[in-house]
Amino acid sequence: MRQLILDTETTGLEPNLGHRIIEIAAVEVVNRRPTGRTVHFYINPERDIDGGATDVHGLTWEMLRDKPRFSDVANEFVEFARGAQWIIHNAPFDVAFIDEELKRLDLPSATALASEVIDTLALARDAFPGKKNSLDALCERFGVANAHRTLHGALLDAQLLSEVYLAMTRGQESLTIDIAVPSLPTEGAFAGLDLASVAIRVLAPSPEELDAHRAYLLELDRLCKGACLWLALMPELNEA
C-alpha cells in the first residue's frame, strides 16, 4: 500500500476568505516503510500572511515573494499524490486548502486524487478520548523525538506524523497475542489423520527478511522503552 503523510502551512485559517497555502509537503510510505521520497514546496501566496499564522510557522510574505506560485508546482504535486492514501493530522483543514488551490486551476479535488483520506486527529481522539492529541502530544506519547520542532513546518511535521502514525497503528502496544488453536476434524477426509506421517516444509527466512524483522523489533523496543519481550528472547538480534 502506498501512503502519503501530508501537511500544509497557510496564510490564515479560512480558505473561503482568500487565505492560501504557503508550504506543502508529503512523505511517502509504502507497505508501512518510509521510502525516502518526498515532495516539498515553499509557495508565494500572492497576498499578506496573518500575524497569528506567522507566529505559528515563522514564514512571512517577504520570505516567500521569490518562491513559485501554487500553479507552478501543482502538476508535480498532483502526480506525486495521485492514487495514494493520504494521512493528515486534522485533515479537514488541510484538505479544504488543497481543494481550494486545485479548484483555481481546474484540477481534480483531493477526494478524486487520493484513494482515501485518513485523519490522524480523529484516530487519536478515538484512541485517547479526553487527552491532548496535538502532534506534539502524540510525539511525546509514542516516544517520537521532536525537540527540534520549535515552529511548525510542513516537511518536518509530515516526517514526525509519519513516525506517529506508524506507531499509533502498529497494534503492538500489548505484548500478548491470543490465538485460537483449531481442533482436529472428527469427520470427513482428514478425520483421524496421523500428523506424524505428514512432511512439514520449513521455509527459512532470507537475510533481507531477518534484517527487516530485526529493525522492526528494535523500533518496537525503542517505543516500549526497552521492554520488548521478543527482543529479550532473541539476544542474537542485538548482536547482528
Residues 95 and 212 in one domain: no
Q: What share of the chain is helix, strand, coil (3-state, %, to 5)?
A: 45, 15, 40
Q: How confident is the model at residue 218 (pLDDT cuts 50, 70, 90)?
A: confident
Residue 65 buriedness (CB in 10 A; 0-12 / 13-18 / 19+): exposed
Residues 6+ apart with CB under 8 A from 70: 20, 21, 43, 101, 104, 105
pLDDT value for 203: 80
Residues 57 and 129 in one domain: yes
Contact yes or no for 41/24 (Cβ under 8 A): yes
Catalytic pick from 40, 89, 152, 213? 152
pLDDT value for 150: 60
More confident residue, 219 or 81: 81
Give percent above pLDDT 70 in the chain: 81
Residues 50 and 110 in one domain: yes
Taking only the tens place, the pLDDT of each residue in 99-153 is 999 999 999 999 999 999 999 999 999 999 999 999 989 999 998 887 776 667 8
Residues 125 and 233 in one domain: no
- Distance CA(197)–CA(71), nearest Å, equals 69
Nearest to 62 by CA among 82, 37, 45, 86: 45
pLDDT value for 181: 46
Residues 17 and 91 in one domain: yes
pLDDT value for 145: 83
Q: Is the pLDDT of residue 233 over 90?
A: no
Range with the poorest average pLDDT among 71-80, 126-135, 170-179, 183-192: 170-179
Would 17 be classed as within a structural domain?
Answer: yes
More confident residue, 191 or 45: 45
Q: How confident is the model at residue 178 (pLDDT cuts 50, 70, 90)?
A: very low
Contact yes or no for 4/84 (Cβ under 8 A): yes
Q: Is the pLDDT of residue 24 over 90?
A: yes
Q: What's the mean pLDDT in 210-214?
A: 79
Would 42 be classed as within a structural domain?
Answer: yes
Residues 8 and 58 in one domain: yes
Would 100 be classed as within a structural domain?
Answer: yes
Taking only the tens place, the pLDDT of each residue in 55-82 is 888 899 889 999 999 999 999 999 999 9
Rounded to 5 degrees, φ, ψ at 118 are: -110, 130
Task: Give the end of a domain, one of 168, 194, 218.
Answer: 168
Taking only the tens place, the pLDDT of each residue in 28-51 is 999 999 999 999 999 999 999 999
pLDDT value for 173: 42
Domain with 45, as residue range(s), is: 2-168
Would 46 be classed as within a structural domain?
Answer: yes
Nearest to 92 by CA among 129, 123, 57, 117: 117
Residues 125 and 210 in one domain: no
pLDDT value for 207: 82
152 is catalytic: yes
Would 107 be classed as within a structural domain?
Answer: yes
Count of structural domains, the chain: 2
Q: Is the pLDDT of residue 210 over 50?
A: yes
Would 154 be classed as within a structural domain?
Answer: yes
Measured from the Cβ of residue 99, the count of other Cβ atoms closer than 10 Å reads 18
Task: Give the end of a domain, one of 111, 140, 168.
Answer: 168
Which residue shows C-alpha cell 509519519? 162
Would 201 be classed as within a structural domain?
Answer: no
Would 200 be classed as within a structural domain?
Answer: no
The domain that holds 49 is classified in CATH as: 3.30.420.10
Mean pLDDT of the chain: 85
- Distance CA(90)–CA(13), nearest Å, equals 13
